[in-house]
Structure 1
Amino acid sequence: MSNNKRLSDTFTTYSFLSVLLVLILFVLFVYPAPEGILYSGLRILLILLVGVLFYQSLQPSRKLTQVEKRIHDTNSKSTISSDPLSAIQRDDEDLIEDLLGNATDFLENVYPNFTSGIYLANLTGTELVLRRETGETSQFIEALDPDDENIREILSSSATTVLLPGDEDSLYEIFINVSEPQLSQGALLTVPIQFEGTIKGLLAVHADRFDELANRDKILLDNHANQIGSTLSLLTGRAKLFAINKFEQSFRKLVGDLDLTRSKEEMLSSIVQFCEAEFSFDKLSIVLLDHSYSGKAVIVGNSGFTMDYGVGDDIVYSATHLEKVLSSQETLVINSRDEVSTAGRFTVGDIDEFNFQSYIAVPINNQHGVQGALVLESFTSSHFDDSSCELLEIVASELGILIDWWDTFGNIRETASRDGLTGLFNHRVFVERFEDELQRAKRYGESIVLMILDLDKFKRINDTYGHLYGDYVLKTTAKLLKESVRAIDIVARYGGEEFAVILINAHKDTTMQTMKRTVDSVASYEFKEDGITERMTISAGAAEFPSDGENLRDLITVADEAMYEVKRKGGNDVGLPEKGST
């Protein structure tokens, strides 16, 4: 019911009561107008009551805040039939609030130095209302007019738009509160929030300087806007469906608790736990395609019966129920083994091994196509009804969106953590990982060895053969170092021709052979490229936690000093700190 409708109904109710009281007063005053103190007091009381009722009839049930008025505006200027903005169902407001809070937390974590704003359409599509904003002070305009041709230009573009202040016909001032002096400069990224061609809102991120915005920021923002739009589309009108088996309450908790920066395994574990609480089954399986091999998939989540398949198992799904679901991209429901026309559930022949009677599988899709399937099985026939099918499809749809987001964010995060030339961890990630390992070592009382390595006389290589050959030497050295240590150890490019190696749970004395082998691997290698053959050596210094230092700064200083002492002696060796140097 709209706010205007509520006011109209309230006025009608109070007016009716007032008219009734007036009739009673007529009897008391005019005809037959009984005498006495009791009737006189009753007359006064009723006159006061009539006044109160008329006053109340003119007041709204409660005063709406400015934001509430914008969100719930349903006046006669509605453009819902012609405007591309999609109205968001009031029934889903709680779910949307959870989503917006989740999205805001993500933006604060990924862009701690930027200010972000999320605009969503109000019920009638007459305004884009600022629903969430990061930062301590308000920077964004409270509401945008979608009928403004400049705003429509931005909304009509599916790409990320960069807005700068001071440009001719700049749109920057439409979004930013330029009355604040510190906001009259900087750069703004805007991305429409849409799904299947329907505009849902706008995501905006403000940076103090244009050069702070990298290309990966545009990619990540675009993906995050798509994720918000897709989730909004799932939420719209979903409240009625969620009423089945109290699904609404459980799904709200899943969305509210979801940490968008968690690992893929944690995300899948949350989906499994949600299904355990909301569905009845004997076996649950989450299967994702192995895109490296056609016809192969991997079990990435399961619950219940595990004697046939477990997490991490590879399956070849040709001629099975699973292939039917993946190829058709449609939900498959089997109520009895008598209905089975394929040779297997997940692999050929597994139907006869275990007596599953009921089977329901829903494809997991996203914008890149089918990604896998969510499967429930039961040992009893006709176990799954229509509501189970509908609810499982909702979970699978949400899972497809989360997988798409996680894969995209994971790729961006991996690219940002690697040195572009050598493929090793870059300096920033080395520092982060080293701090993490120090904390872990302190907690469990373990030791860590840090090696700092520097190629000897590398400047000669660049000066003699040029930077292309120098790049080849650096890439090859990185490969040699990586191959000389264990998989659990961390190898990074520290800077220039310097490298760093963190030996996990190790001591200098017991790992000296490993450190010597690392140095010898470079000295014994012939660097051949483009008809040039050269020999290189490398010098290394080592420091151990906690005996040589208890923090990152001290350990790097000690290892550096030991490495430069090796260089002063001619290089091609491993140096340890002198006793008493720490």
Structure 2
Amino acid sequence: MDQEEIVENQKDIKSNSFSTVVKSHYQRLIAQVVDLVSVVNSNYATAIYMIDREVNGFTKQHSSNADFIEFVEEGNNIISEILSHKKSTIIKKNKKNEGWKEILGKKIWRGSETFLGFPILYSEKIVGCILVYTDHFSSINEQDQHVIEKLGEIITHGMTDLEQMESIMVDNYFNSRVTNLFEQLEVKSDEAELFESIRGICRAFFQYDKLTIILSDADKKNGNIKLVDGLHDDADEGQDFELQNSLHGLAINENKIIHSNTWFDELPEINRFYPNDRDTFNFMSVLSIPLQVNNDSIGAVTLERLKSKKYSDTDSRLLELLCGTVRPLESHCTQARQSRL
């Protein structure tokens, strides 16, 4: 995929940038919590780390002290212990001699250093922690722990509010883009331009390494690839393939959404398009939505990632909405084209 083309197609979404707005609110929320911990006790140095499954570790979001390392590997026993509890945890240097350097770098330790850790919950799952450091355990008191626990709850509530705000903003903008498809087709009525418009919407709203739109033949034995965005080497526009035992035919044959980042293990007999191609291009995550007419599948829109990061429920909901629009529009284009013949 041409990077310049991607940037150009995403200009409109970034100029309205609800994603940037939400990220800015999130960063401000995290920074305010870190600052408030310092107000609670000026002897504290604070960092907030979030679980980062893509790189198998914990990524720093913000800190009051530059000594905190930007990324801590997954096996760090200090953060792991903090995340194993739903309440605050006190870890003293004289009891825990491993994992400190990975968080604070090389220091001359006196043995009195102490971490006060608070797990951060989101959707009832632990997603990160507030990590408070002090040179001496005597600086910590019970009232401080209670206050910082409340600050952790503020992060939880704040992230929930931000998710709801983003969902509303995304839905509104997405709906306006889909509505615009109808307005364009009233004038153009061109299938190729319809698929180009869909490509633009997908580039703006989804992250993928390959986007594929296929339509099946009448007896659902073969599929024809109508559009490809991303990797073209495995299968390209205009090519046909057998739907049976193919990942891209699965949503059509089973008439249901395929949403997985472990399909490679779950479906060992399934290829992506052609026999023995599953090992050639190692796509890990897939979101495939059937195109339906009268509840019968006649095609599919499929997003794939090389990384194992699973597509979100929001991705699935928005792509399903788009697919509910594509088939009626495609039929409209076909009818308009036939009327001109």
TM-score, normalized by length of structure 1? 0.28
Report which of the two structures shows the higher radius of gyration computed on alpha carbons. 1
TM-score, normalized by length of structure 2? 0.47
Larger strand fraction of residues: 2
